[in-house]
Amino acid sequence: MVKYTLNMSIGELPRIDEKYLKRFHKLGLSSVRDLLYHFPNRYEDYSKIVKIENLEQNKVATIQGEIVKIDNIRTFKRRMTITEAIIEDDTGSIKSVWFNQPFLTNNLQVGKKVSLSGKLTKGSKGEYLSNPSYEVLSIYRAPTHTARLIPIYPETIRLGSRYIRYYTKLVLPLADKLKEFIPYEILKKNKLIKLSDSIKNIHFPKTKGIAEKAKQRFAFEELFLLQLFVLKQKNKFQKENAKKIKFNKDLIQNFVKSLPFKLTNAQRKTAWEIFQDLEKTNPMNRLLQGDVGSGKTVVAAMAALEVAQDYQVAFMVPTEILAQQHFKEIKKLIKGLKIGLITSSESKINNKKVKKEELIKRIHEIDILIGTHALIQDKVKFNNLALVIIDEQHRFGVGQRAKLLKEYKNKSVPHFLTMTATPIPRTLALTIYGDLDISLIDEMPKGRQKIITKIISPNKREQAYEFIRNEIKKGRQVFVICPRIEPSKKEITEIDEKTKQLIISPSKLLWQEVKAVKEEYEKLNEKVFPDLKIAMIHGKLKDKDKIMKDFKEKKYDILVSTSVIEVGIDIPNTTVMMIEGADRFGLAQLHQFRGRVGRGKYQSYCFLFSTDGNETSRLKALTKCENGFDLAEKDMAIRGPGQFYGIKQSGLPDLAMTSLKDLPLIKKIREQAKELLEKDSDLKKYPLLKEKVKEFKENIHLE
């Protein structure tokens, strides 16, 4: 008999050939340990066992009896095989029907005692059990697929829950070999069940209450490891040395006086928090978050100005358009310093275009260098970097902050200021961004008018076009946003299947059209507004910057775009934001789009067109709420944290992801992690926990 081990390959389990192994791999399962940690996402309750005479229509129940007849019937008209069986107990008999499973006649033979779980259905030829879950009863083992709470797992094609259940139950005794790593006092304090019991109870619980307790244990475990990881990162970063930047009161006062507008109190407060951090010898690690148009760039410019008197500043942004915009804005705000721009397509020092090689050679001359990912290429080496500003950090890939730090081993590291215009719900701020101190600009500049937001039904589209024409007659400009560059039938079909927006008829499959930039541009240009000047922009275009420049200079009336203009675009003359397929975007992203208008003195409007013309709860929320922080909370509640802030691919398990909505739980876990690290910063007394945090760090992908 083969002795199973936790590290054994799934391929070594009985009857798993290369074909099935690939299917397990598709689910990310390689070892027996992986299988134990592949948790169900729900349960079917088949625990109610009834006699055949007590079966009720459309109610889930389990019957147990003897097979008295079983046959396969081939239906040539519908091209399928129907397996029909008659099951009998001491109160009567019932027919059971399965579709396209002819192999069942080999497994379920006449005379065998079986357990069947499913719903009683009424057809033209009487009542029958439709496609029930089944298994042959044995005096040696408890049921796996019927007569209990049945785990339903994340599946893949030709690897369903029944198959996963069988192998999970086979190796479940190995749960006792898993070592408990959460300290006993923390388990006791939080009334958590131990690891081995949690594994058994999450897979095959006796009741829903027991399953819930197992889920709570694993949600706590993942969030506890996350908090330990984040707090250890914070402690480690705080032990590093950084340049002490003395606050220059006269410099900052003169800068503020030179501004053509008055700073808000929130801008002053956040700037002061940053200046205080810069005066410390351990590096700042601060997140500056503020709503769309709240004036974060000016606050960042003040920090850059002060640091750049003696040292260098790097300003990293996610797109070329945003890099261009920040370059122009910083150049306008800050005089007397050398400001550089580096992207994949252009390089500048102040107003002069230079070759990238020349800029890299002359990097020691530059006080503030603004750029995209080009900033972190190996050839770019700062000689005196003291401040790194990262705009919209969540849009960068994993490890890029680490790459900026690579040169600073055994030296003083730069201060870090991260900015985001996507307001972060408090639970995410305490977890994913738990190593950052947070500054909040929660006040808008005076004089900003509220943007009027409306959902436009299909029958009102012509009126919306007429309104747009009138705005353009007044000299204003318009943005039109589409979810994609060009239509793709394959992708549209996949999206619609998930969102249940497919309309199925016997003869054909129809889908609601997802608006694409190229098609919309042609339609507006040729049919709707043939007399107006219309431009198109998307991520694949090479001359994006020229188009944006021309649009800003009013050479075009309408700009049709993808989400490439989501952040940082500031064109005060645009007064209408028209969003096609608005239901395809999250609330936070829609709020970002809306923030591209209303930046000048004119009344502005945001028109939302949904794919199917329906008013979803998200779209309604946007029309009623202008505060980005409230919207962020609603967005996370509706879509979940993974979808909301791009952390779906973080590696965080679903149980932890779901718990990110629970603020009291997050706070409690954070406090306990903090207490543990205060007593034992290196977790020397808890070697198993230390090892688990190290594993967690390798599996998680957070910045």
616: confidence class by pLDDT, cuts 50, 70, 90? confident
Tell me the average pLDDT across 647-658.
Answer: 63
Q: Is 177 helix (H, G, I), strand (E, B) or coil?
A: helix
By the 10 Å C-beta count (0-12 exposed, 13-18 middle, 19+ buried), 42 is classed as exposed
The answer to whether residue 393 is domain-embedded is yes
Closest to 572 (Cα-Cα) out of 592, 554, 590, 547? 554
Residues 436 and 287: beta-carbon distance below 8 Å: yes
Measure Cα distances from 178 to 13, 521, 654 in Å.
Answer: 19, 59, 21
- Between the CA atoms of 269, 274, 278 and 283, what dihedral angle is there, to the nearest 10 degrees? 140
Whole-number Å distance between alpha carbons of 276 and 296: 17
Q: Which pLDDT score, from 0 to 100, does residue 500 have? A: 33
pLDDT exceeds 90 at position 494: no
Comparing 49-63, 348-362, 612-626, which segment has the lowest mean pLDDT?
612-626
- Give the number of domains in the chain: 4
pLDDT above 90 for 654: no
Nearest to 600 by CA among 471, 453, 449, 469: 449
Asked which of 256-265, 514-523, 655-664 is least confident by mean pLDDT, the reply is: 655-664
Q: What does residue 582 show for φ and ψ, rounded to 5 degrees?
A: -60, -30
Spatial distance between the Cα atoms of 480 and 525, rounded to a whole number of angstroms:
12
pLDDT in tens, 193-211: 999 999 999 999 999 999 9
**pLDDT tens profile 313-335:** 999 988 887 888 899 899 999 99
Model pLDDT, residue 514: 52
478 and 563, same domain (yes or no): yes
Q: Which residue range is the domain that position 603 belongs to?
A: 452-625
Widest Cα–Cα separation across the chain: 96
For residues 576-582, give the mean pLDDT. Answer: 93
Check: CB of residue 174 under 8 Å from CB of residue 36. Answer: yes
Q: What is the pLDDT of residue 55?
A: 95
Closest of 120, 126, 78, 119 to residue 100, by C-alpha = 78
Instruction: Determine contact, residues 537/564, Cβ cutoff 8 Å.
Output: yes
Residues 6+ positions from 505 with CB-CB distance below 8 Å = none
Span 563-583, mean pLDDT? 83
Is the CA virtual torsion 40, 43, 47, 52 positive or negative? negative
> Would you mind telling me the total number of residues written for the chain in this entry?
703
pLDDT (0 to 100) of residue 333: 93
Least confident among 232-246, 275-289, 456-470, 688-702: 688-702
3-class SS at 2? coil
Count of C-beta atoms within a 10 Å radius of residue 253: 10
Q: Are residues 52 and 24 in the same domain?
A: no
- Residue 19: inside a domain, yes or no? yes
Q: Is a pLDDT exceeding 80 seen at residue 505?
A: no
Summarised one tens digit per residue, pLDDT across range 339-386 is 999 988 889 999 899 999 999 999 999 999 999 888 877 788 888 999
User: Do 410 and 490 share a domain, yes or no?
Assistant: no
Q: What is the pLDDT of residue 512?
A: 37
Question: Would the pLDDT of 640 be above 80?
Answer: no
- Assess whether pLDDT exceeds 90 at residue 37: yes
Average pLDDT over residues 55-74: 95
CATH number at 373 reads 3.40.50.300
Lowest-pLDDT choice from 312-321, 560-569, 673-682:
560-569
In tens, the pLDDT along 281-307 reads 999 999 898 887 788 999 999 999 999
The confidence score (pLDDT) of residue 377 equals 77
Note whether residue 572 is domain-resident.
Answer: yes
Q: Are residues 392 and 497 in the same domain?
A: no
Q: What is the mean pLDDT of the chain?
A: 86
Q: Are residue 2 and residue 32 in the same domain, yes or no?
A: yes
| DSSP-derived secondary structure for 82-95 | EEEEEEEETTEEEE
Span 60-81, mean pLDDT? 91
User: Would 436 be classed as within a structural domain?
Assistant: no
**CATH number, residue 114:** 2.40.50.140
Q: Which percentage of the chain shows pLDDT scores above 70?
A: 89
- Answer whether residue 618 is part of any domain: yes
Beta carbons of 562 and 483 less than 8 angstroms apart: yes
Question: What does residue 304 show for φ and ψ, rounded to 5 degrees?
Answer: -60, -40
Q: What CA–CA distance (Å, rounded) separates 293 from 220?
A: 37
Say what the pLDDT of residue 15 is. Answer: 93
Give me the CATH number covering residue 167. Answer: 1.10.150
Q: Is 119 exposed, middle or buried (0-12, 13-18, 19+ CB in 10 A)?
A: middle
- 89-133 pLDDT, tens digit each: 999 999 999 999 999 999 999 999 999 999 999 988 899 999 999
80 and 25 in one domain?
A: no
Give pLDDT tens digits for 152-161: 999 999 999 9
Residues 84, 11, single domain; the answer is: no
Q: Cβ–Cβ contacts within 10 Å for residue 261, how many?
A: 10
The upper half-sphere exposure of residue 523, i.e. CA atoms within 13 Å in the direction of its Cβ, equals 10
Instruction: Give me the mean pLDDT over the 270-275 stretch.
Output: 98
Q: Are 559 and 538 in contact (CB under 8 A)?
A: no
With contact defined as beta carbons under 8 Å apart, do 339 and 311 qualify? Answer: no
* pLDDT at site 645: 52
Is there a domain that residue 405 lies in?
A: yes
What pLDDT score was predicted for residue 409?
56
pLDDT of residue 501 exceeding 50, the answer is: no
Residue with tokens 């972060």: 424
Same-domain pairing of 128 and 266: no
More confident residue, 561 or 626: 561
The answer as to whether 66 is a domain residue is yes
Condensed to tens digits (0 to 9), the pLDDT of residues 130-154 reads: 999 999 999 888 999 999 999 999 9
